Amino acid sequence: MNESAMGDFLRKRRASLTPADAGLMDYGSRRVPGLRREEVAMLAGMSVTYYARLEQGQHVNASDAVIDSLVRALALTEVERKHLTDLSGAKRRTPKTVSSKPDQVRPGTKRLVDSMGGVPSVVLGKRTEVLAWNQTGHRLVASHLSFDAPDSATGRPNMTKLLFMDEATRSLYPQWRTEAKRAVASLRLLSGRFADDTELAALVGELTLKSPDFATMWAEHPVESCMSGRKTLEHPQIGTLELGFEVLTLPDDSGHRILTYTAEPESEAATALTRLVRPSLTLAAAPKAGLGQAG
């Protein structure tokens, strides 16, 4: 079980609730915000000692009944429930041996994104590393990097590191803080799902040490399944773009996802995207910063 992460998650959610939120009487000021352990235990129908041990990470393989009780007591969303289940280890029957072998995109997946020339697409690994992208996806999100950068297993770009540690990428998002919070919330879910992955843990550790912004956001323990939505990009060559995004998760245990971007038909963004599709388009290279390599 990811003991410290589970305890941290429970404490953060307990601190975010007021007695009024939980339908309890509030008897004056409190030394710390949120509900007390005793109140959560009462709402969950368990002993204070047992709940305290959960926050301390001393109970592995929590049952479905325990998870259900915590979901009700802490008013968790469905995404937060899934995250808590991952952290609790309820679905892990035996420890997995995690290979340190660099991940690779499947040939079929690479052919798929290449065939989607008019749709900017990026293939991400479970550590948010870029396994592949098509020409349009590369020109949209990382025109200052080499198109072949994902081919290097030891030097491939990592989307989360780029967002926090690469100035060219950071300037791509005028609403950077919103984008960054979304990225951290998504990475939290991955860290729960792949809790035994040492390279993912190393990525989080490096970002925590090198980026104060990341460290602050990570400490809040946000979780969100960022599968679709909208992004505003300030592209250095084609200007402001309002795009929708969809994340397509491959139906296996690889953790690979295809991130795609689309524009409303006949919109200014759709017209601008056609400039990225044209083979004759030459994009001036932006100043290079760190590549944001994975691991």
Q: pLDDT tens, 181-208?
A: 999 999 998 888 887 888 888 899 899 8
Q: Note the maximum CA span of the chain.
A: 70
Per residue in 1-18, is it b (16+ CB within 10 Å) or e — as a string?
bbbebbbbbbbbbbeebe
Q: What integer pLDDT is reported at residue 284 of this predicted model? A: 46
Mean pLDDT of 31-46: 80
Contacts of 251 (CB under 8 A, 6+ apart): none
pLDDT at 175 over 50: yes
Contacts of 29 (CB under 8 A, 6+ apart): none
d(CA 145, CA 290): 10
Q: Do the beta carbons of residue 245 and residue 261 sit within 8 Å?
A: yes
**Domains annotated on the chain, with CATH:** 3-88 (1.10.260.40), 107-277 (3.30.450.180)
Nearest to 153 by CA among 111, 105, 186, 108: 105
Q: pTM here?
A: 0.73
Q: What percent of the chain has pLDDT over 90?
A: 43
Q: What integer pLDDT is reported at residue 294 of this predicted model? A: 53
d(CA 275, CA 136): 9
- What confidence tier does 14 reach under pLDDT thresholds 50, 70, 90? confident
Contacts of 256 (CB under 8 A, 6+ apart): 103, 105, 106, 109, 123, 124, 125, 126, 131, 249, 250
